[in-house]
Amino acid sequence: MDSSNCSSGCYSMDECSSLFDDFDRKIQENLDSTMPWIGIYIAAASAVCSLAMAADTFHGFRNKMFWFPCKYFSLNAASLTLLTVAMKLPVDFTEIMLGPSDKLARLSSLFFMSTAMANFMTSLGYMDDNEILLNLTALVILVITVIVNVCIHLRQIIHINHAATVLGEVREIVAISFMFLSLVVFCSSTLMVPTNRSYIESKYQEMHRIAFEEERMEGTRFTVDKLRVLVKKYWVMAATGSPEFVLARSVTCSASGLICVFIALFLVESHVEQLFWYERIDKIAFTSDSTYKWSIKWILATQFIGVFVGTIAPAFRWFTAASFKCSELGSKSFKSEFKIENYWIQRLVDWKERPLPLQVRHLKGKKLLHAATRLILNLCIGIQILIAWVSKLVLLISASSFHLIGRLMIFVVNASCNKKRSESGIDSELDLTRYVLLLEGEVQLPKKTVKNIWNEVDKLIRIGKRQQPKNLIKLLSKSNNFNGVREFDSNHVPSLHSQEPSNCWSLPVVTLTCIAIALPKIPSDRGNQLLRSVDIVWIGVELYREWQDKDLCKLNAQGKTTKEILEELSNVAEMTVMQFLRDMNDLVMVNPLNWPVKIIAANSMYRISQIILLAYDSYQTDGLFDHLSIMIADILAACLTNLPDVITKKSHHNSIKERKNCVRQAAVLLGETEEILEILQQRELPSLDPDKIAYIEEWQAFLEQDNGNPEIPTSSSELSTQQSNGEHDAIEVQG
């Protein structure tokens, strides 16, 4: 085209090409303008992962658990999603020529991924087979995708740049090598988790049986010290048998920690080189600033901090395992040190011996498939043995090194490589090391470490002591026996139904409390003190002072006498029960076990009110209030005699996930009730069967058999005795 075409609105080919180039450039500029915000998104995902790893580290230090359980950062869908976002740079192909900041950020991302894997490795402990399979598959896909993308990117650079430039990409090769090695160690650890868990569980059940037999041989009479030792036994079993702790002590987890240490050192070296050789690197790279612009520095900062924060927990696991190993240096032969236990390969062996899941009709094809499967599994078994052997070697070399420089580094973890030193200061009167659950061939935990574990129980007990129910303790101190258990009910009161509903501990306590606060001429503070003393109250009584929509405060404010109030409560209760029985059409409701709660409560109010009315002439209001308070105390005391059994049963749990939490609750409960247990320990308990002592009806049957069938005393001698004990012994409890 000539110039005349330009005046007519036509353009030459060169001009058209230039226009298209300008258009493409503007589009690219618009797209690149969003890259800093994508960089911030990457930095934010990295920051969340870093904070979660930091929280786990802080939690471990705070609780002196130097194996750092995964409480906040574990292998799950959320953490994998965040890591996928954080890996945006290594899989980004938008730039072939990278600047120094981009190269360092890509390197930090690769190291960040390896560090994350080492951190949440112990979270595998509590996963079942399906969870492990799903999460591991997702992790493998993510890591392999990143590695493949980096390899493709490196190949592109090889085709574009000369060989001298490729030397600058060696760091990325080292980084993906570390990542692949971390993934292999991670996969190796997953294969041992199910077998380890089964082995530890069988040892736990065996030690539980031994502890139970020891408790039975020591007799049924409980003491607070015996309960404290019992809880410590179960805490040691639960803590050392925790799947996370077992995995953290493994040689593969130790090797993973050492890999993290090397990664952190390598990343520091890379940052130092960029700091001092920036101009040289920039000339070799032949590139301009990053398309991520200012956000690349945020990515660098968050991932650099994340690598170092995330290195702390794996490094401590490695260091702690090596410190444990120090105590056994020289005690085993070389062959024993590198023996590969069955749990390393048992899962693979089981798969190898299992029939093929696929149904192949042709015999030849079936044989070929079977042979291929066995070949692959044999290869996997060989790799697993190699990983375990190398990990054992790494741990042995680490332990030997720490043994030589132990005094310079031992203060980091409260564990000594010197056996005599680790045993010094140990309580010789209490040795629970035999309750430590270990895998076959595993290093014995130092006694000082075990002592630190069981000392956790003392801390939990102290926490419980700060929550002691002081009001209840003062109320229980008013009780000298368990007579109230037999006095609140009597066969002299006719039943409203042919069958009486079953009793429970809370029912008479709440009923007696309602009657006590409804009595006239009783100061409100004394009624409130009684309510605060009784832990088991219904919401209507506690908040509104109501029973069955009857305002208890109005009853004693209407000028009615004690007898009139008792009669009114009895009449209301009787009418409630009788109305229910008249309206009852369902044959199922004939059984008192199926009665509504309000009807059972009304029946209890009727019976107890009638029992008190039988002896009403023998009481004054103040004396009756004191007597009712003592009856409540007697019932609560009898109920709480089952506390040792409750603490014992709570210490043991069949679910491995709930075990530590249950023992923790048992220890806190022991601290809360220690003073109550000491009060009950001074009493002579009835010779009830341990299986029956938890039921109030068994108590009533035993006391009636032992003492006849007494009711509230009616004779003046009995009354004067009770009034002399109760009149000046009002329940004055502090809030």
pLDDT at site 735: 31
Tell me the H-state helices in 161-169.
163-166
Residue 94: Cβ-neighbour burial (10 angstroms; 0-12, 13-18, 19+)? exposed
Q: How far apart are CA 64 and CA 460, in angstroms?
A: 14
State residue 201's pLDDT score.
Answer: 92
169, 154 in Cβ contact below 8 A?
Answer: yes
What are the structure tokens assigned to 543, written together? 């908040």
Q: Measure the CA–CA gap between 627 and 730, rounded to whole angstroms.
A: 10
pLDDT band at 415 (very low <50, low <70, confident <90, very high): very low
Check residue 492 and report its DSSP letter.
T
Q: Report if pTM > 0.85.
A: no
Q: Would you state the torsion angle of the CA atoms of residues 109, 110, 111, 114, taken in this order, to the nearest 10 degrees? A: 120
CA distance 730 to 735: 16
More confident residue, 505 or 52: 52
**CA-based R_g, the chain, Å:** 37
- Higher per-residue confidence, 714 vs 264: 264
For residue 272, what are its two tokens? Answer: 């130092």
What's the rounded mean pLDDT across residues 43-52?
95
H helices then E strands: how many in the chain? 32, 2
The yes-or-no verdict on residue 382 having pLDDT over 90 is yes
- What are the tens digits of pLDDT across the range 18-45? 655 565 566 655 656 677 888 899 999 9
Asked if residues 479 and 576 have their Cβ atoms less than 8 Å apart, the reply is: no
Residue 88 DSSP one-character state: T
pLDDT exceeds cutoff 80 at 378: yes
pLDDT of residue 286: 42
- What is the DSSP code string of 35-52? HHHHHHHHHHHHHHHHHH
What's 280-349 look like in SS3?
HHHHHHCCCCCCCCCHHHHHHHHHHHHHHHHHHHHHHHHHHHHHHHHCCCCCCCHHHHCCCCHHHHHHHH
Give per-residue pLDDT as tens, 110-159: 999 999 999 999 999 989 889 999 999 999 999 999 999 988 888 777 66
Worst-scoring range by mean pLDDT, 27-36, 215-224, 254-263? Answer: 27-36
Higher-pLDDT residue of 494 and 437 is 437
Q: What percent of the chain has pLDDT over 70?
A: 76
Rounded to the nearest integer, the mean pLDDT of the chain is 79
Q: Is the dihedral of CA 74, 661, 55, 246 positive or negative?
A: negative
Q: What are the two backbone dihedrals, phi and then psi, of residue 551, each rounded to the nearest 5 degrees?
A: -75, 110
Report d(CA 369, CA 509) in Å as an integer.
72
Position 733 scores a pLDDT of 31
> CB neighbours of 280 closer than 8 A, spacing ≥ 6?
none
Cα 492 vs. chain centroid, distance in angstroms?
53
Q: Residue 173 and residue 15: Cα distance in Å, rounded?
A: 45
Q: Is 199 helix (H, G, I), strand (E, B) or coil?
A: helix
Closest C-alpha to 661, from 239, 124, 226, 128: 239
**Residue 26 exposed, middle or buried by CB count within 10 Å (0-12, 13-18, 19+):** exposed
**Segment among 171-175, 444-448, 614-618 with least mean pLDDT:** 614-618
Running DSSP on this structure, what letter comes out for residue 355? P
- How long is the chain? 735
Mean pLDDT of 357-381: 81
Q: Which amino acid does the sequence have at 408?
A: L
pLDDT given for residue 703 in this prediction: 81
Q: How many CB atoms lie within 10 A of CB 184?
A: 14
Instruction: State the Cα–Cα distance between residues 10 and 459, nearest whole angstrom.
Output: 88
Q: Is the pLDDT of residue 92 over 90?
A: no
Q: What pLDDT score was predicted for residue 394?
A: 92
List 550's β-bridge partners, or say none: 547
The answer to whether 669 touches 691, Cβ cutoff 8 Å, is no
What are the CA-CA distances from residue 86 to residues 40, 73, 105, 260, 307 (Å)? 10, 15, 11, 18, 12
277-331 residue pLDDT tens: 554 544 444 444 677 788 888 999 999 999 999 999 999 999 888 888 887 776 7
CA-CA distance, 77 to 138, in Å (whole number)?
Answer: 9
DSSP letter, residue 585:
-
Mean pLDDT of 650-665: 90
Closest CA to 349 of 325, 382, 387: 382
DSSP string, 208-274: HHHHHHHHHHT-S---HHHHHHHHHHHHHHHHHT-HHHHHHTSHHHHHHHHHHHHHHHHHHHHHHHH
CB 81 within 8 A of CB 98: no
* pLDDT (mean) for 259-280: 80
Lowest mean pLDDT among 331-345, 404-418, 461-475, 638-652: 404-418
Label residues 397-420 b or e (16+ Cβ within 10 Å = b): ebbeebbeebeeebeebebbbeee
Nearest to 79 by CA among 58, 57, 53, 55: 53
